[in-house]
């Protein structure tokens, strides 16, 4: 707590995040998190728990628990009994803990819904036990999946498909081994990390080819289950993984300035800063270095999966000449990515058209595409997804107010208490 207070005081007196990271021997990400919260927030889950081994059995569990409502309390299924029946009767290979957690979450959601008997329509998230809890607490209510999360899930499915096809993408563009001399400083650090991870990936893949289960690979290598699963599914081989950056909303402006003849990174940063750009000098100079290198080389540089996904979804008139060449090459040489993009574009059009009758044909087509996993998730929640398409109900209003509140809090450096936030938010609301 003492260091937490010192970091906030130092930055409050004018020290930049980069400067504060050095004397306190912490990363810039840690400094950013300290400034975002007036007190340590503790552990926060950023996404619902993924239970791939349990997903195929949730309908069976729900059926048993629904049947239990008509029997005596002493005769109902406990988590241990459900685990033993799944293991013995259905070949379940997962652990007892995920079943116990699922049943506890389902019970909690059910109690929340039962406490509100007047609820007729439930607009909900697609993760966790929201669906099962709503069905148990208010079986007659219409469940509506949140459209924003549907759009976000579809985009994530496209990104996963692009990651799986990156070997074919690099082969299509004609890229061999990476030359460290052509990398920027940030990319060189990522490339060094890739070389250190190569041996670990080789060991994990060798064990997987021998038929060793993921859980056993975790035990032998000491790596996390999520990491082993990513390696096995081919989602970890990309050396330059771009993250969401403060420069993305300013790319059109940067391209315009570059085309007008301004090629100096510091000059570009000063022009953007005068118009409200919140990022640092290094973000812009790194972009200028990459752009200068791309203009100088004959062969286009292979983009990262996230950057490539963005290029594939942009209109052609917004692409530079180099980007247009990359997209055209990939569309010609890697048809799997094109199929994934067409399936996701069709789903986006379906959400906007409000024609729920077209959901069935889309599912049939998507099951044969690289985003079949996303289509199976839609099937599991089909009624709520169809209601999201056909009805006007949505969580958008709630999500918008939450984002507004977060924006106000960040504007005040994370130092706002409830009274100040209420004073600023209520006049707007």
Q: Which whole-number Å values give the CA distances from 357 to 103, 350, 351, 373, 384, in the listed order?
A: 33, 10, 11, 21, 14
Q: Is residue 134 part of a domain?
A: yes
Mean pLDDT of 103-112: 79
Residue 416 · residue 409 · CB < 8 Å: yes
pLDDT band of 219, cuts 50, 70, 90: confident
For residues 36 and 59, membership in a common domain is answered with no
Mean pLDDT of 30-35: 82
- Spatial distance between the Cα atoms of 230 and 305, rounded to a whole number of angstroms: 15
Q: What is the number of structural domains in the chain?
A: 3
Q: Is the pLDDT of residue 144 over 60?
A: yes
The residue written with tokens 């010192």 in the block is 6
Q: Is the pLDDT of residue 428 over 60?
A: no
pLDDT at residue 244, rounded to an integer: 52
pLDDT at residue 340, rounded to an integer: 92
Per the structure, the complete domain to which residue 234 belongs is given by: 176-240
Q: Is the pLDDT of residue 294 over 70?
A: no
pTM of the model: 0.53
For residues 123 and 86, membership in a common domain is answered with yes
Q: Is the pLDDT of residue 175 over 60?
A: no
For residues 16 and 59, membership in a common domain is answered with no
- Spatial distance between the Cα atoms of 300 and 107, rounded to a whole number of angstroms: 54
pLDDT band of 365, cuts 50, 70, 90: very high
Q: Is residue 287 part of a domain?
A: no
Q: Is residue 423 part of a domain?
A: no
Range picked from 224-233, 294-303, 323-332, 356-365 for highest mean pLDDT: 356-365
Q: What is the DSSP string of 350-383?
A: HHHHT-GGGHHHHHHHHTTSTTHHHHHHHHHTHH
pLDDT at residue 296, rounded to an integer: 64
In the structure encoding, which two tokens stand for residue 391, read together? 């009805």
Q: Per-residue pLDDT tens for 234-280?
A: 655 554 455 556 777 787 888 888 888 888 888 888 888 888 888 88
Q: Is residue 402 part of a domain?
A: no
Residues of the chain with pLDDT > 90, as a percent, come to 7
For residues 61 and 140, membership in a common domain is answered with yes
């Amino acid at each position: 707590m003492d260091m937490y207070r010192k970091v906030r005081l130092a930055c409050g007196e004018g020290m930049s995040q980069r400067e504060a990271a050095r004397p306190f021997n912490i990363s810039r990400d840690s400094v950013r998190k300290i400034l975002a919260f007036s007190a340590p927030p503790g552990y926060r889950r950023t996404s619902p728990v993924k239970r791939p081994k349990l997903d195929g059995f949730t309908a069976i569990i729900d059926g048993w628990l629904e049947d239990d409502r008509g029997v005596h309390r002493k005769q109902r299924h406990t988590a241990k009994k459900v685990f033993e029946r799944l293991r013995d009767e259905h070949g379940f290979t997962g652990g007892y803990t995920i079943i116990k957690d699922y049943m506890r979450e389902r019970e909690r959601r059910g109690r929340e819904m039962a406490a509100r008997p007047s609820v007729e329509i439930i607009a909900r998230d697609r993760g966790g036990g929201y669906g099962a809890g709503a069905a148990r607490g208010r079986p007659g209510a219409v469940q509506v999946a949140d459209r924003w999360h549907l759009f976000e899930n579809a985009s994530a499915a496209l990104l996963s498909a692009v990651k799986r096809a990156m070997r074919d993408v690099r082969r299509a563009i004609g890229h061999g081994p990476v030359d460290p001399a052509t990398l920027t400083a940030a990319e060189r650090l990522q490339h060094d990390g890739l070389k250190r991870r190569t041996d670990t990936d080789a060991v994990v893949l060798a064990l997987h080819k021998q038929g060793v289960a993921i859980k056993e690979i975790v035990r032998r290598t000491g790596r996390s289950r999520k990491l082993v699963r990513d390696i096995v599914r081919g989602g970890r081989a990309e050396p330059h993984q771009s993250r969401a950056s403060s420069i993305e909303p300013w790319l059109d402006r940067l391209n315009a300035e570059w085309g007008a003849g301004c090629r100096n990174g510091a000059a570009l940063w000063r022009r953007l800063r005068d118009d409200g750009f919140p990022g640092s000098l290094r973000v812009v100079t790194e972009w200028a270095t990459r752009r200068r290198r791309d203009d100088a080389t004959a062969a286009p540089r292979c983009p990262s999966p996230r950057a490539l996904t963005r290029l594939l979804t942009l209109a052609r008139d917004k692409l530079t000449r180099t980007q247009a060449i990359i997209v055209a090459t990939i569309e010609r040489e890697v048809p799997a990515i094109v199929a994934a993009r067409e399936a996701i574009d069709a789903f986006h059009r379906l959400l906007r058209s409000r024609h729920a009758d077209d959901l069935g044909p889309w599912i049939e087509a998507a099951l044969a595409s690289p985003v079949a996993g996303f289509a199976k998730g839609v099937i599991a929640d089909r009624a709520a997804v169809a209601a999201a398409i056909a009805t006007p109900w949505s969580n958008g209003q709630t999500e918008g107010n939450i984002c507004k509140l977060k924006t106000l809090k960040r504007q005040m450096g994370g130092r706002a208490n409830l009274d100040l936030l209420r004073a600023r938010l209520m006049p707007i609301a």
